[in-house]
Amino acid sequence: MNTRKLWIGFILVLVISFGILGYYGTEIYRKAPPIPEKFITPDGETVMTKQEIKDGQNVWQSMGGQEVGSIWGHGAYTAPDWTADWLHREALYILSHWAQQDFEQSYDNLNEENQAALQARLKKELRTNTYNAENDQIVISRLRAKVFTEIGKHYEGLFMDDPAKAHLREEYAIPAMSIKDVDRMDKMNAFFFWATWATVTERPGKEITYSNNWPPDKLVGNNPPVH
């Protein structure tokens, strides 16, 4: 057998394989969700900073990271995917708020037409990309800023010592006081919020999110991409 041809074939396979890996690696890096210098409200109030998000990621990693739930579906499943959990809680909170504000009813008690109208409004609220590359900031509504605080209380109770969350800690195999400091907890919440923002915010000029519509959630329009 002509070994020269085998070597040429082997080299071609290597070149093509690494070329493909390099291309997609570059695409993934280029399309990675931005970590802005700040998340702010329309009136300029700072909700969280880039440093808080990065510090929050370190806090999560320090308590086990992907071994304690997962982010973007990568990791262990003794606890939830935190982006999926946060996203659904955020969606339900906003829908409930609007239902009470506009109809003085719970969202579940609305008819299908009104529910559909609020869901369409929710998708616009959450999926619109407001990242400004020039000032490296993302604007979120005051409602979303409030939701960040309210959902943060849930996670604070879960990862700290709220007795009402004891059953969840048992289900998720999370010891009480896994996070012992409120400041560290706030930073981990900032990381969870940013990671969730990336799952529901559409890439510029696209109709899919930075995480390709993962996790699935019909309330916010996270359906499998159509190719």
* 27: pLDDT strictly greater than 60: no
* 10: pLDDT strictly greater than 70: no
Domains in the chain: boundaries = 1-30, 36-220
* 196: pLDDT strictly greater than 70: yes
Residues 111-166 pLDDT 10s: 999 999 999 999 999 999 999 999 999 999 999 999 999 999 999 999 999 999 99
- Enumerate long-range contacts of 93-96, CB under 8 Å, 24 or more apart: 93/147, 93/150, 93/151, 94/122, 94/125, 94/126, 94/143, 94/144, 94/147, 95/119, 95/122, 95/219
Entry pTM: 0.86
pLDDT of residue 65: 81
Task: Please state the rounded mean pLDDT for residues 53-64.
Answer: 94
- How far is it, in rounded angstroms, from Cα 113 to Cα 99? 12
Task: Please state the rounded mean pLDDT for residues 6-11.
Answer: 71
* 72: pLDDT strictly greater than 80: yes
Element (H, E) at 38: strand 38-40
pLDDT of residue 29: 43
